Amino acid sequence: GMHDIYEPLDPPHRKPIPLEQAGDCIGTEAIPCDPSKIIAVVPSDVPDTTRPLAAIDDDAKAMSQHLIKFFEQEIAEGRLPKNLLPLQSGVGSVANAVISGLAQGPFTDLSIYTEVIQDGMFDLIDAGKVTV
């Protein structure tokens, strides 16, 4: 699955969430449910609705280009590996612009954490630049 269902212990017994790599999985992929408690399944053809993203504007593109240039400089100085370190993308037009910009950049074999997959992430995946 693309997600895990994980419930940490209640405080004060809570431990660190045991994720160390972008591809690590914890918990379960489904919520257990006694089938005898299910009384109906309602199929629906109603499409999900989402708020449209703002278009990638010149400011967002400039931020993306600055970040990519920063990554390139850090690689050149030996402070980052060529595939960067695991990245986490946020949500919104700037995050979308940055991720989309990475699709045009020189970086490959990227590891990425994200809570939402936006158009830029699909571009990055389609470009074959994401391993996890």
Contact 127, 109 (CB under 8 A): no
Q: Is 91 strand, coil or helix?
A: coil
Contact 107, 82 (CB under 8 A): yes
Tokens of 105: 């950049």
Catalytic residue among 7, 20, 77, 115: 115
Look up 20 and say whether it is catalytic: no
Instruction: Tell me which residue of 63, 58, 54, 40 sits closest to 92, measured CA to CA.
Output: 54
Measured CA distances, 56 to 78, 96, 106 (Å): 31, 8, 21
**For residues 115 and 123, what is the distance between their CA atoms, to the nearest angstrom?**
17
Catalytic residues: 115
